[in-house]
Amino acid sequence: MKQELASLCEKFIENRDTIKGAFAWDSAYIYPVCAAIFTDKGQLAEVEQMRRCRDILREQTGIFSNFRGTVKLAMISMLAVDGNPEGKLQKSLYVYNALKRLFFTSSYLPLASMIIADMAEPGVYEEIAGRTRHIYDLMKAEHPFLTSGEDSVFAALLALSELTDEQIAKESEKCYEILKSDFFSGNAVQSLSHVLALGEGSAQEKCERTIELYRGLKSNGHKYGTSYELPTLGVLALLPLELDVLIEELAEIDGFLSGQKGFGVWGTGKKQRLMYAGMLLASYYIGQEGSPVMTSAAIGSTISLIAAQQAAMCAAVAASSAAAASSGSAD
């Protein structure tokens, strides 16, 4: 494994252990995705900063706020990686209120709000909120039974695209039609199609490459998950790298994680572990200073990759939060 990639993996494990130690009463499902938030930014989690952000969240939101619901630890992590957490939360709350006027409130809206606050200028928040609702409505029109609150996150990312709403909907639907015969979970395929719609290239090319990557991993003994793990697979397929390289490096990271506490036989399932490996590999190639992809990619492609990566990260956060809530209610 490349030394830089090994360092990233070690940082991920250190972040998970730090977060777990500081927030011991949260769910085991949440710790790895929060660790990935820090690792993606090239940062080590600092307990005092996280506690400070927790206090900021308590001060600026009510006890029943969705910012303090199942996604609370993810919200704290997303604030903690920012140099100005108070300002970030204020902007996110502004976006949230704009979205709340257009959507039924849900635990997914805070995620969408924080993404928009991160990636857009304040002057266009209202416009993007409106686009988010329109894109969501277009999704709902195509797939009334599949589209639900979690898709508001994807709609928010798609609303940041330079494509028109209709182009976005058409591209997503093309991807969905191509992918649905290979991956049988309608919800997961819809999420994957949204991620691929953010990437450059034709729908046919993007989908065929994703399917080829999935099959290549499977033939090498690494069966990738076909539920909420799929958006991350889409991000990897969008990277301008040879598939053999992606498969080899993903296997190396998975091998490293399998030897870590909590990721072995009695820990996280193999499919989830492979998704975390994919998140780390995507982080290595997207936005990491001096990474071979980012030094050669065109600026438009870079922005598309970052948006796709954020969408996949949020899908993992949302799914982990839902799993944590389900686990808690079953206890």
Q: What does the block give as tokens for 113?
A: 């709000």
**What is the per-residue pLDDT for 328?**
53
Higher pLDDT pick, 26 / 154: 154
Q: Are 228 and 311 in contact (CB under 8 A)?
A: no
Radius of gyration of the chain (CA): 18
Q: With 70 as the cut, is the pLDDT of residue 287 above it?
A: no
Distances, alpha carbon 313 to alpha carbons 83, 100, 171, in Å: 20, 22, 21
- The per-residue pLDDT for 297 is 46
Residue 296 has what pLDDT? 47
Are 293 and 241 within 8 A, CB to CB? yes
Residue linked to tokens 């991956």: 183
Residue 330 pLDDT grade (very low, low, confident, very high; cuts 50, 70, 90):
very low
Query: Cα–Cα distance between 205 and 93 in angstroms, integer?
Result: 38
Mean pLDDT rounded to a whole number for the chain: 87
Task: State what percent of residues in the chain have pLDDT above 70.
Answer: 91
- The answer to pTM > 0.85 is yes
Is the pLDDT score of 26 beyond 90? Answer: no
Q: How many domains does the chain have?
A: 1
- Is the pLDDT reported for residue 298 higher than 50? no
What is d(CA 172, CA 35) in angstroms, rounded to the nearest whole number?
A: 30
> Does the structure show a pLDDT above 70 at 192?
yes
Tell me what the mean pLDDT of segment 195-210 comes to.
92
- Asked whether residue 62 carries a pLDDT value surpassing 60, the answer given is yes
Residue 101: predicted pLDDT: 93
Q: Which two tokens stand for residue 193?
A: 């199609």
pLDDT digits (tens, 9 = 90+) for 242-276: 999 999 999 999 999 999 988 865 557 788 899 99
Residue of 53, 43, 56, 48 lying closest to 21 (CA atoms): 48
pLDDT at 29: 81
Checking 14-19 for CB contacts under 8 A at 24+ apart, the result is 14/44, 14/45, 15/39, 15/44, 15/45, 16/262, 18/44, 18/45, 18/46, 18/47, 19/45, 19/50, 19/73, 19/77
Contact 292, 242 (CB under 8 A): no
pLDDT for residue 289: 52
Q: Alpha-carbon distance 20 to 112, whole Å? A: 25
Query: Residue 212 sits in which domain range?
Result: 3-330
Average pLDDT estimate for 136-151 = 90
Ranges 101-105, 286-290, 314-318, most confident: 101-105
> How confident is the model over 85-93, as a mean pLDDT?
95
Q: What is the mean pLDDT of residues 304-316?
A: 81
Of the candidates 77, 154, 156, 165, which has an alpha carbon nearest to the alpha carbon of residue 119?
156
Collapsed DSSP state (helix, strand, coil) of residue 233: helix
